[in-house]
């Protein structure tokens, strides 16, 4: 999330292609703003990818940008849901934290409903993963506490909530992020990625050599029957193996190829020459 004098911007990053209902997104954001005490003055849908929500004090634009370049990612994001909050008449420095607090609540709502891959937060170079953003905006369940937002738009929104629904302050979130970066978070992230890769990799059993699909298993039996027309002992041995260990197309093909080779040697009377050549190669 980047900020200027009167504007706060943030975004949700989606690496894969997604279909968004911009009207549904706008309705959810309006519900969040209403919960914070903001008076919704209008909801304008400019296109399938852009919507604007207005209150007496600020304007929030949501824009879906395709193939958007994110500074800290190697490849462009398939979708970047950009959120821009602009205050009409800022009254002082206290407007900054208020703008960021409103944006944080909106981001939390959209994060829970859309499940993005990353959240751009505080600064364009500060990109939080979905899990890190969830951890930064969720507190452990403890006794209920009083939540108060110190701005005119959030006045009257004082409620008793569970701590798991309370956002930490912007300063606390920034300190948490900086602490992770200084404590070797890139290494931890790489280790986490490696661990997840190992978890996701399917375990391949070396004992199970059976073909996975019915057509391949049927092909194995057809080759075995064909092999029995020329070399019944080999076909019988292969049949026993298939029944005990499972049908394996590679083994059946190799057996058929070797059997055909030796049948050809015997037919043309070159078996002795072939065995002599093989013996000389083996030393």
Give domain limits for the chain.
2-135, 214-282
CA 155 to the chain's CA centroid:
38
Tell me, letter by letter, the H, E, C secondary structure of the chain. CEECCCEEEEEEEECCCCCCCHHHHHHHHHHHHHHCCCCCCEEEEEECCEEEEECCCEEEEEEEEEEECCCCCCCCEEEEEEEEEEECCCCCCCHHHHHHHHHHHHHHHHHHHHCCCEEECCCCCCEEEHHHHHHHCCCCCCCCEEECCCCHHHCCCCEEECHHHCCCCHHHHHHHHHHHHHCCHHHHHHHHHHHHHHHHCCCCCCCCCCCCCHHHHHHHHHHHHHHHCCCHHHHHHHHHHHHHHCCCHHHHHHHHHHHHHHHHHHHHCCHHHHHHHHHHHHC
Q: What is the pLDDT of residue 170?
A: 57
Q: Is 84 exposed, middle or buried (0-12, 13-18, 19+ CB in 10 A)?
A: middle
Q: What pTM value is reported for the model?
A: 0.48
CATH among 3.30.310.50, 3.40.50.1860, 3.40.50.970, 3.40.1000.10 for 2-135: 3.30.310.50
- The pLDDT of residue 221 is 93
Per-residue pLDDT, 52 = 94
Q: What is the mean pLDDT of each run of 10 residues along the chain (283 residues)?
A: 62 88 91 87 89 91 89 84 82 57 85 88 72 71 42 43 48 61 48 43 61 89 91 91 90 90 84 79 74
Cα–Cα distance list, 209 to 213, 244, 247, 248, 252 (Å): 12, 11, 7, 6, 12
**What are 137's strand-pairing partners?**
none
pLDDT at 51 (0 to 100) = 93
Residue 205's pLDDT is 53
CA–CA dist 173, 135 (Å, integer): 10
């Amino acid at each position: 999330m980047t900020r200027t004098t009167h504007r706060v911007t943030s975004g949700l990053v989606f690496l894969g292609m997604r279909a968004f209902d911009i009207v549904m997104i706008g309705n959810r954001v309006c519900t969040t703003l209403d919960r914070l005490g903001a008076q919704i003055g209008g909801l304008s849908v400019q296109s399938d990818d852009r919507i604007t929500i207005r209150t007496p004090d600020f304007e929030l634009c949501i824009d879906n940008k395709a193939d958007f370049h994110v500074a800290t990612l190697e490849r462009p994001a398939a979708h970047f849901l950009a959120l821009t909050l602009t205050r009409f008449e800022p009254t002082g420095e206290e407007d900054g934290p208020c703008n960021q607090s409103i944006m944080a609540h909106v981001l939390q709502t959209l994060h829970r409903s859309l499940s993005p891959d990353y959240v751009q937060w505080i600064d364009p170079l500060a990109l939080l993963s979905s899990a890190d953003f969830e951890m930064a905006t969720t507190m452990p369940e403890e006794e209920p506490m009083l939540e108060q937002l110190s701005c005119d738009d959030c006045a009257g929104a004082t409620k008793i909530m569970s701590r798991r629904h309370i956002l930490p302050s912007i300063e606390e979130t920034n300190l948490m992020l900086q602490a992770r970066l200084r404590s070797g978070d890139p290494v931890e992230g790489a280790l986490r990625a490696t661990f997840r890769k190992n978890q996701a990799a399917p375990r391949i059993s070396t004992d199970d050599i059976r073909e996975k699909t019915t057509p391949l298993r049927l092909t194995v039996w057809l080759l075995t029957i064909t092999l029995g027309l020329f070399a019944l002992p080999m076909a019988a041995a292969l049949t026993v193996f298939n029944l005990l260990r499972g049908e394996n197309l590679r083994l059946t093909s190799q057996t058929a190829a070797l059997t055909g080779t030796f049948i050809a040697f015997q037919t043309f009377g070159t078996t002795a020459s072939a065995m002599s050549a093989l013996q000389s190669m083996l030393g």
